[in-house]
Amino acid sequence: MAVATTREASTPLDVERIRADFPVLSRTAHGKTVVYLDNAATSQKPRAVIDAMSSVYEEHNANIHRGVYAFSERTTALFEGAREKVARFINAPQTREVIFCRNATEGLNLVMHTWGREHIGAGDVIVTTVLEHHSNFVPWQQLAQQVGATLIVVDIDDDGRLRRDQFTAAMAKRPKLVTITHTSNGLGTVTPAKELTAEAHAAGALVVIDGAQSVPHAKVDVRDLDCDFLAFSGHKMLAPPGSGVVWGRAAILEKMRPFMYGGDMISRVAVDLSTWNELPWKFEAGTSAYVDAIGLGAAVDYLENVGMQQIHAHERALVEYALPRLMAIPGLAVFGPKTAEDRVGVISFDIAGIHPHDVAQIFDSEAICVRAGHHCNQPLMTRLGTPATTRASFYLYNTFAEIDLLLAAIAKAKTLFKV
Amino acid sequence: MDDFYREFILDHYKNPHNFGELEGATHQYHDTNPLCGDEITMYLKIGADERVVDVAFNGKGCAISQASASILTDEVRGKTLDELRAIDRDHVLENLGITLTPARLKCALLSLKALKGSAWGLHEWPGEEAKTS
């Protein structure tokens, strides 16, 4: 592969060494080594995560929290150990505030179905943004419609950054809940979540943050953010699908009703009365995806070992390398922020005269994996005036050479379509 | 792959035949492919003898969906409604002459779905709040 020598093509990471940890990255499609640029959709898994999971199955698999025998105790210890790792990773004040769920979507729905249904009523105001993934938009839209609350949707400016003036104006409506993404999965915009949280708290609102695109890519500290809930997905941060987290303040979680009823979340059941288990198990009905959670623990170890600051710096270097080169292509328009400031390695673009699905198909012939579509961001797509975009999204294992391959594939698409 | 975007498909995409709204249409049907955001509205003008007097489509989307609509509309003029209803998916795919992945099948077949919707005189596809006109 060509070695990029330009000034901006430097990174604090030993990327080739990292890549060697990810078996799938040396695989091929259509006879070419895969170039995986769909990390906003899901991430690849390092050997350490795969091994952590297979060793449970091969060495000591047993259901957690139940058996008084060695296998169960060992599996339980790893599962609860993963919870401790996650708590440390996001700097949670208490480990019992970390609730395992399937993914960010389930975590956000948990908050909506429990805290939301108990506290949001007719005439109440919920504030969200047009940047939201459907997962942090539809639950609140539906709740508002069901109970007669008002949903205020804060807009973005033409550069894809949140309209702070509109957000401040919305706070004057005294919302009960403010629910915002930390990083847009469609545009890569990073919102000033800490400042927004302080503003929302001053207005008397609780704050939910969708960290699905931020927690994998930068140090996210719930004490620093001072939010009330944070949801994220393990599969976007090197862990398996099925390993999601919703973190909430213990004082709030304590007062909330359970989300789902069943095994493990129970303290005592009589024919006419049930009482609930303690945190966090009150919110973990049924057998948890404990092997996935153990995989998430291993992913957290891996990320911390590489260093979240270094990962963030690496991705910023990729964005600084990619953005000007993409924007220099005639007919190519980048959606969202045009500089690396307050954005991450999620780049959505349009090539005039070629539909995103055709772009993605041509990329596929070069073994380049990107996403084409609305990215579960239809309110945002409507705002941008496009039904779909082509989206390339980076992670710690992506290289400058892969961006060069992306640029070459764009040239190929333009040649083929004669645009 | 270079086979995938054949010259004639790109020609139909860039200069679609029978493109636009059809004045005096007796039948029309709109459909979308939410995966891509492809959109097609099919217009038919059916004469007293139940034959297609004129046809047009309007839409936007990927090359496959738009080229497929352009090719399909080219061959329906003069056909009876029954003949229209007999056109099947294999015929459409044969017209395109390329092997499609499952995800792209929906793009290729959107025009057929819209044509059938209009040929049956529907506003919506059966099963999705079906109504007859």
DSSP letters spanning A78-124: HHHHHHHHHHHHTT-S-GGGEEEESSHHHHHHHHIIIIIHHH--TT-
Query: Three-state SS for A134?
Result: helix
Is A376 designated active site?
yes
The Cα-based distances of A365 to A21, A228, A335, A370, B5 in angstroms read 25, 45, 24, 12, 12
Q: Is residue B131 very low, low, confident or very high in pLDDT (cuts 50, 70, 90)? A: very low
Q: What is the pLDDT of residue B2?
A: 54
Please list, in sequence order, all residues whose beta carbon lies within 8 angstroms of the beta carbon of residue B111, skipping any fewer than 6 positions away.
B40, B42, B57, B65, B68, B69, B72, B73, B92
Which residue did the predictor score with more confidence, B85 or A177?
Answer: A177
Q: Copy the structure tokens of residue A377.
A: 């961001």
* Positive or negative: CA dihedral B9, B13, B17, B18: positive
Closest in B34, B36, B39 to A357, CB measured = B36
Contact A416 B37 (CB under 8 A): no
Higher per-residue pLDDT: B1 or B93: B93
CA A71 to chain centre: 33
Residue A65 has pLDDT above 60, yes or no: yes
DSSP H helix total and E strand total for chain A: 15, 17
pLDDT reading at A406 higher than 80: yes
How confident is the model over A197-223, as pLDDT tens digits? 999 999 999 999 999 999 999 999 999
Sign of CA dihedral B57, B62, B63, B65: negative
A134 near B CB under 8 A: no
Burial of residue B52, with CB atoms counted within 10 A of its CB: 0-12 exposed, 13-18 middle, 19 or more buried: buried
Residue B62 has its nearest CB partner, among A358, A374, A416, at A358
| Residues B10-38 pLDDT 10s | 999 999 999 999 999 999 999 988 777 78
Confidence label for A3 from pLDDT (cuts 50, 70 and 90)? very low
pLDDT of residue B123: 55
Res B133: pLDDT: 34
A67: confidence class by pLDDT, cuts 50, 70, 90: confident
Whether the predicted pLDDT of A123 surpasses 90 = yes
- The predicted complex's ipTM stands at 0.84
Distance from CA of A388 to the nearest CA of B (A): 6
Contact A355/B61, CB-based, under 8 Å?
yes
Mean pLDDT of the residues in chain A: 96
Across B96-125, average pLDDT: 84
pLDDT at A6 over 70: no
Using CB atoms, which residue from B2, B35, B60 is nearest to A373? B35
Residue type at position A223: R
pLDDT digits (tens, 9 = 90+) for A303-320: 999 999 999 999 999 999
Q: Which of A357, A372, A417 sits opposite B10 (nearest CB)?
A: A417
Q: Is A268 on the interface with B (CB under 8 A)?
A: no
Mean pLDDT of A96-123: 98
A357 in contact with chain B, both atoms CB, cutoff 8 A: yes
User: For residue range A357-374, what is the model confidence (pLDDT) as tens digits?
Assistant: 999 999 999 999 999 988
**Cross-chain residue pair B37–A372, CB shorter than 8 Å:** no
The strand pair at A98-101 and A244-248 is best described as antiparallel
**pLDDT at position A2 over 70:** no
**A39 has a pLDDT exceeding 70:** yes
Alpha carbon A119 to chain centroid, angstroms: 26
Q: What percent of chain A has pLDDT over 90?
A: 95
In chain B, positions 24-63, which contact chain A (CB-CB < 8 Å)? Answer: 34-37, 39, 60-63
Q: In whole angstroms, what is the distance from residue A319 CA to residue A328 CA?
A: 14
Residues A71 and A60: beta-carbon distance below 8 Å: yes
Is A358 in contact with B1 (Cβ distance < 8 A)?
Answer: no
* Residue B5 pLDDT grade (very low, low, confident, very high; cuts 50, 70, 90): confident
| Pairwise CB contact (< 8 Å): A355 & B62 | yes
pLDDT at residue B122, as a whole number: 67
The answer, for A388 touching chain B at a CB cutoff of 8 Å, is yes
pTM value is: 0.92
pLDDT (tens digit, 9 = 90+) per residue, A127-149?
999 999 999 999 999 999 999 99
Q: How many CB pairs under 8 A join A and B?
A: 48
Res A171: pLDDT: 98
How many whole angstroms separate alpha carbon A345 and alpha carbon A217? 9
Residues of chain B with pLDDT > 70: what percent?
Answer: 89
* Res A7 pLDDT > 60: no
* CB contact B96 to A (< 8 Å): no
Residues in A closer than 8 angstroms to B64, CB to CB, are 357-358
Q: Give mean pLDDT, residues A374-381.
A: 91
Cβ separation A388–B10 shorter than 8 A: no
**Angle between helix A290-306 and A308-327 (nearest 10):** 80
What span, in angstroms and rounded, lies between the C-alpha atoms of B16 and A376? 30
